Copies of this chain bind each other. A is one copy, B any other.
Amino acid sequence: MEIKGPLSGITVVDLTRVLAGPYCTLLLADLGARIIKVEQPEIGDDSRNFGPFENGKSIYFASINRHKESIAIDLKSTEGKAQLHALLEKADVLTENFRAGTMEKLGFGWETLHAQYPRLIFASTSGFGQTGPYSHRPSYDMVAQAMGGIMSLTGHPGGPPTRVGSSIGDITAGIFTAMGVNTALFHRERTGEGTMVDVSMLDSQVAILENMIPRYHISGEIPGPIGARHPTITPFAALEVKDGYIVIAAGNDAIFARLCMAMGREELISNPFFLTNPKRTEHEPALKDELEVTLKTKTAQEWLDIFEKADVPCSPINNVAQVMDDPQVNARNMIVEADDPTIGPLKMSGNPVKFSAFEDPTKRNPAPNLDEDGKKLRSEFKIKS
């Protein structure tokens, strides 16, 4: 099947491996682009060997590389280089996530390719970017999470370091690269000029630090981990109920008032300690205790029903099984499926960007085996093998 989207007709030659780059091209595929994944013969993408496996095929690989085509090319051989050139002649975008310098060594540096293919967009996703003192260092998700600061903000005070439970070091870099590719396509459409897009995992982590840098710059106080609450909005936290925790997010005074009314704790609204958000944040431990005394008298589901009626932003802390069953997640087509000939039907996260002009299909093509589309692509692009 074909995905019809804003990038229909765009061909991406994809040299990326593992997660950051392949996540970018997954997003581009969901927008309608054709992704031709170029893999090293016999070995292929490293993540083909990442567990868990089903019938010998990696779930990790299968989910991130759905709806792509695979061709095996040895980029170090003369024949392989010619084969890549045959693809590039008809490509709109080249994506790669090697360490800085590798593309130049292979003879496919930006300067060289831009001279030969002036309309080609060249998108690099790397650990540290194409410039700067660390540019040649290796990186992985955890390095980006640790070096970029988010690990220092995640976890409980005094507790051990805590990783964000999804590889956001890779994933945010992948999303920013996809945004850059789309911008570059727009720029090319207006000017005819192909551009290089240079995104790093470290830069991407710095970009998502929100207002932490200006806060530290002005106050001189280094922000640390604060558990399950917001640093400057209160109450905005996971709070304890009879049978576990729920999240309550009172983003302004009106919501705080509705929360107190719904809990039968009207007196908290006029308590001078809790009158404004800055005061509530200052007295956060006291307010938490006051709220939890009452919250612990009912179950999560009882409170969620009450708060929903009272228009108070709240949520259960869903696990992955509950996310998959959630009516809203399903109504939004956020769980899509591929019929993988090896694995069987495989459910995966869908496309979070919906367009009025396009359908959002419920199915995807499965991830290819290594060189699965090689024969077809060699014929289509007149590649000698």
Contacts and interface: CB of A to CB of B under 8 A. Distances in A.
Nearest to A128: B328
Contacts of A195: 6, 355-357
Interface stretch (A70-78, A82-90, A247-255, A260-268): A247-255
Interface stretch (A215-223, A290-298, A369-377): A215-223
A232 to B, nearest CB: 5
A269 interface: no
9 contacts: A5-B183, A149-B320, A151-B165, A163-B238, A167-B230, A187-B355, A189-B189, A206-B350, A209-B349
Contact of A50 (B142, B150, B223, B233): B233
Nearest to A351: B207
Contacts of A178: 179
Interface string A88-107: 00000000000000000000
A324 B326 CA distance: 40
A238 to B, nearest CB: 4
Contacts of A138: 255, 311-313
Contacts of A343: 218
Contact of A218 (B54, B159, B175, B225): B54
A132 B251 contact: no
Contacts of A318: 146-149, 151-152
A274 to B, nearest CB: 15
Given A52-B232, A210-B167, A211-B59, A328 B140 contact: no
Interface string A172-216: 110111111011111101100101111110111011111111111
Contacts of A149: 318-320, 322-323
B154 A236 contact: no
| The 4 nearest A-B residue pairs measured at CB | A153-B165, A132-B331, A140-B249, A196-B356
A209 B323 contact: yes
B332 A143 contact: no
A159 B162 CA distance: 11
Given A52-B218, A182-B186, A209-B349, 17 more contacts: A7-B183, A59-B214, A63-B210, A132-B332, A137-B308, A142-B236, A142-B237, A147-B323, A151-B247, A163-B229, A167-B210, A183-B355, A200-B332, A202-B332, A207-B350, A213-B324, A224-B319
A55 to B, nearest CB: 10
Nearest to A147: B315
A166 interface: yes
Interface string A114-150: 1000000010000111111111011111111111111
A42 to B, nearest CB: 16
A316 interface: yes
Nearest to A337: B217
Nearest to A174: B208
Contacts of A214: 59, 62-63, 346-348
